[in-house]
Chain A
Amino acid sequence: MIEFTLWDILRNLLLAARWTIVLSLIAFLGGALVGMPVTMARISERGLARRLAGAYIAFFQGTPLLVQIFLAFFGLALLGFDVPPLAAAALALTLYTSAFLAEIWRGAIEAVPKGQWEGARSLALTRFQQMRFVILPQALRVGIGPTAGFSVQVIKGTALASIIGFVELTKAGTMIVNATFDPFRVYGLLALFYFALCYPLSLAAKAIEKRMAHH
Chain B
Amino acid sequence: MPFRKIGLARRSRLICRADVLNLALSDLTDHGGLFLKGAALTLALTAFAILAGMLLGILGAAGRRSRLAPVRWLSGAYVELIRNTPFIVQLFFIFFGLPKLGVKMSSVEAAFLALSINLGGYATEIIRAGLDAIGKGSWEAGFSLGLTRWQTFRLVILVPALQKVWPALTSQFIIILLGSSVVSQIAVEDLTYVGSFIQSRNFRAFETTLVVAGIYLCLAIGAQLLFKRIGRRLFAYAEMAR
The answer to whether A binds B is yes
A interface residues, Cβ below 8 angstroms from B: 48, 58-59, 62-68, 70-71, 74-75, 77-78, 152, 155-157, 159-160, 162-163, 170, 173-174, 177, 182-184, 187-188, 190-191, 194-195, 198-199, 202
Q: Say if the beta carbon of B172 comes within 8 Å of chain A.
A: no
Q: Which positions 3-22 of chain B face chain A at CB distance < 8 Å?
A: none
Given contacts A64-B181, A65-B178, A67-B213, contact A183 B85 (CB under 8 A): no
Instruction: Give every chain A residue within 8 A of B199 (Cβ-Cβ).
Output: 74
Instruction: Give every chain A residue within 8 A of B181 (Cβ-Cβ).
Output: 64, 66-67
Residue of A nearest to B91 (CB): A187
Given contacts A64-B179, A187-B89, A187-B97, contact A78 B206 (CB under 8 A): yes
Q: Are A59 and B217 in contact (CB under 8 A)?
A: yes
Residue of A nearest to B171 (CB): A61
Interface size in chain B (residues, C-beta < 8 A): 39
Q: Which of A70, A71, A177, A198 has the most CB of B within 10 A?
A: A70
Residue of A nearest to B90 (CB): A191
Binding site secondary structure of chain A: helix
Instruction: Give every chain B residue within 8 A of A155 (Cβ-Cβ).
Output: 86
Residue of B nearest to A202 (CB): B84
Q: Are A62 and B221 in contact (CB under 8 A)?
A: yes
Q: Which positions 205-229 of chain B face chain A at CB distance < 8 Å?
A: 205-206, 209-210, 212-213, 216-217, 220-221
Contact partner, B97, options A65, A77, A183, Cβ 8 Å: A183
Q: Which of B1, B80, B92, B221 has the most CB of A within 10 A?
A: B92
Q: Are B178 and A63 in contact (CB under 8 A)?
A: yes
Given contacts A62-B217, A195-B84, A202-B83, contact A173 B89 (CB under 8 A): yes
Instruction: Give every chain A residue within 8 A of B178 (Cβ-Cβ).
Output: 62-65
**Distance A75 CA – B208 CA, assembled complex (angstroms):** 11
**Distance A42 CA – B187 CA, assembled complex (angstroms):** 39
Given contacts A74-B206, A187-B96, A202-B83, contact A67 B89 (CB under 8 A): no
**Distance A64 CA – B98 CA, assembled complex (angstroms):** 26
| Minimum CB–CB distance for A136 against chain B, Å | 26
Sample 12 A-B pairs with CB under 8 A, ordered by A number. A58-B217, A67-B192, A67-B212, A77-B205, A159-B87, A170-B88, A170-B92, A184-B100, A190-B92, A190-B93, A194-B84, A202-B83
Instruction: Give every chain B residue within 8 A of A68 (Cβ-Cβ).
Output: 213
Instruction: Give every chain A residue within 8 A of B179 (Cβ-Cβ).
Output: 64
Residue of B nearest to A200 (CB): B84
Given contacts A67-B192, A74-B206, contact A190 B89 (CB under 8 A): yes
Q: Say if the beta carbon of B101 comes within 8 Å of chain A.
A: yes
Q: Are B97 and A188 in contact (CB under 8 A)?
A: yes
Instruction: Give every chain B residue within 8 A of A48 (Cβ-Cβ).
Output: 1
Q: Say if the beta carbon of B182 comes within 8 Å of chain A.
A: yes
Instruction: Give every chain B residue within 8 A of A59 (Cβ-Cβ).
Output: 213, 217
Q: Are B217 and A63 in contact (CB under 8 A)?
A: yes
Given contacts A156-B87, A173-B89, contact A74 B216 (CB under 8 A): no
Given contacts A183-B100, A194-B86, A195-B84, contact A188 B93 (CB under 8 A): yes
Q: Say if the beta carbon of B170 comes within 8 Å of chain A.
A: no
**Distance A159 CA – B88 CA, assembled complex (angstroms):** 7
Instruction: Give every chain A residue within 8 A of B66 (Cβ-Cβ).
Output: none
Q: Are B209 and A67 in contact (CB under 8 A)?
A: yes
Instruction: Give every chain A residue within 8 A of B87 (Cβ-Cβ).
Output: 156, 159
| Minimum CB–CB distance for A169 against chain B, Å | 8
**B148-192 vs A, Cβ < 8 Å mask (1 yes, 0 no):** 000000000000000000000000001000111110110000001
Instruction: Give every chain A residue within 8 A of B205 (Cβ-Cβ).
Output: 70, 74, 77-78
Residue of B nearest to A187 (CB): B93
Q: Are A184 and B85 in contact (CB under 8 A)?
A: no
Q: Say if the beta carbon of B81 comes within 8 Å of chain A.
A: yes
**Distance A71 CA – B192 CA, assembled complex (angstroms):** 12
Instruction: Give every chain B residue within 8 A of A74 (Cβ-Cβ).
Output: 199, 205-206, 209
**Distance A194 CA – B92 CA, assembled complex (angstroms):** 14
**Distance A195 CA – B79 CA, assembled complex (angstroms):** 12
| Minimum CB–CB distance for B16 against chain A, Å | 17
